[in-house]
Structure 1
């Protein structure tokens, strides 16, 4: 009788432990989805020892991609989960016949230019992943632009009020973020002077809501200013996307009407692959 009670007690304890492990794992997984960190954005390089040499492969034989930036590089909104980075890797492999590896995707939802600049200046792991690549894909600036527009709108995210944004004031608000982007591009070149860098230009998700089209003019000005920096380096390319989304913007946006959907990301990827050929 005592042995039976002991056995049932042991079974009950084991069941309790198994339940706690399951609950902890579930909560951890949900938190990981709701509160993503840079370490969960994809395969990320471990922080290296200073003595570890980095050999960048010949792009004529192999592409090694490191992706940086915000939610667009993460692929938020793509129901298929690839994002433009996944499509680029897939399409580059098919069109060139070369091996394509995504070394690391360190993009983070909500990142602004100041945060990415800080990562490049302070995080050894970020610099290491950049040095491992011969192709760097980058989106940054969209959140800077959105924050500046919302600040004018009193923090209200109301598409019907987009036309009320003062473009001249917005230009002044974006002066510091533009300088951050220029510093980011300069640092990428310093960290890995042999890698190709593709900066994905901004598009206007509010095109159809803004009857005045003044927001598009500001975005075009941003892309033009960044292009001046990119154009000075033969290994850098700015891939324009604004024209891909205008006229039929709702066809290529996700349910949040801000991020691209799968079709939108694939259009961006097609243009990147074309620019690399």
Structure 2
């Protein structure tokens, strides 16, 4: 009986030790999927030395309306991307010029060697174009109805200019993705009863998007819906609402510069930076390498 008790104690001791070591094994030895996750984390932590972005375009690239005079949406986009991705330096070069149409941007591109070199070295090309082309198209008809036939004709002229601009960009850099920003209606809240203007802007944006969709490795960045009605009421703080109520210009777009009521203000440029960031993040495999 004593021997049986002794053996039972020995067996119980052995079972307890097995349980203890098994438990320690589960704790101390990582599971295979944990090892895989750790390796993935290390992969994502590998840093890229530099990403170059070449910004080409009109006043929206130049940053007109930005009270900080620091370049509109570009420094905001640079900060957003730097916070999101393991890149030591996001280098953005600004070649925006207020008032330029697509043909004038092309003319600068062909003459400016610094601009050419920037495009050649770019991991991605940011393009703002089309607004001044549309202004040129509608100004002669500003006091008369813009016919569909006339608008279609102006669209074809614009397409021809864009084709030449894209061809030059692709000659300089066949591989970098091109992100083209749409246009917005800055007068919607001021003249909301003039529905024709918004219809023209929508038509121009749709035409631009169709063109971009036909290009290789090019992406259209829509912006009108984010800007033309200002900040949605639900997103405004109480202070902002009170300020708007007490203003004589409560109907004005609070994303548009009060100086010219045409270009984005600082917050408007943040909206543009957000739009570029969303599209670039969705296609990061095209430039983040």
Q: Which residue of 2 aligns with 1:203?
A: 184
Paired with 2:210 and 2:154, the residues of 1 have a C-alpha distance of 19
What is aligned with 1:166? 146
The CA deviation string for residues 121-177 of structure 1, in whole angstroms up to 9 with x for no partner, is: 444332211001111111111112123222223xxxxxxx6xx54152344334312
Counterpart for residue 74 of structure 1: 62
Matches of 1:61 and 1:113 in 2, distance apart?
A: 33
* Corresponding residue of 2:229: 247
Between the aligned partners of 1:147 and 1:234, the Cα distance in structure 2 is: 28
Q: TM-score normalized by structure 1?
A: 0.69
Q: Could you say what secondary structure the match of 1:207 adopts?
A: coil
Structure 1 SS opposite 2:96: coil
Q: Deviations over 1:88-111 (max 9, x none)?
A: 111111111313433421111111
1:159-209 CA distance string (max 9 Å, x none): xx6xx5415234433431232123212321221012121101111112231
* TM-score in terms of structure 2 length: 0.66
In the alignment, structure 1 residue 270 sits paired with structure 2 residue 274: yes
Cα 1:165–1:84 shift into 2, 3 Å: farther
Picking from 90, 96, 106, the partner of 2:95 is: 106
| Counterpart-to-counterpart distance in 2, 1:177 and 1:233 | 15
Structure 1 residues 151 and 264 mapped into 2: Cα distance closer, same or farther (>3 Å)? same
Q: What residue is the counterpart of 2:128 in the other structure?
A: 139
Question: For residues 167 and 219 of structure 1, do their structure 2 counterparts lie closer, same or farther at Cα, with a shift above 3 Å needed?
Answer: farther
> How far 1:264 sits from its partner (Å)?
0.6
Q: Is 2:187–2:228's contact at 8 Å kept on the other side of the alignment?
A: no
- Contact 1:202–1:240, Cα closer than 8 Å, also in 2: yes
The structure-2 alpha-carbon separation of the partners of 1:141 and 1:173, relative to structure 1 and needing over 3 Å to count, comes to same
Q: How does 1:1-277 map to 2 (within 5 A)?
A: 62-82=50-70, 83-153=72-142, 164-168=144-148, 169-208=150-189, 209-248=191-230, 250-255=253-258, 256-277=260-281
For 2:212 and 2:154, locate their aligned partners in 1 and report how far apart those are by CA, in whole Å: 22
Q: Is the 8 A contact 1:79 1:262 kept in 2?
A: yes
Gaps of 5+ in 1: 1-58, 154-160
**Which structure has the bigger radius of gyration?**
2
In structure 2, the CA distance between the partners of 1:224 and 1:246, relative to structure 1 (3 Å rule), is same
**Post-superposition CA distance 1:50-95 (Å, at most 9, x none):** xxxxxxxxx9653211111111101100112341111111111111
Q: Tell me, which stretches of 5 or more residues in structure 2 are unaligned?
A: 1-46, 231-251, 282-289
Change (3 A) 1:231 1:174: closer
**Which moved further from structure 2: 97-106 or 141-150?**
97-106
Contact 1:92–1:100 under 8 Å retained in 2: no
- Distance in 2, Cα, partners of 1:121 & 1:146: 24
SS of residue paired to 1:102: strand
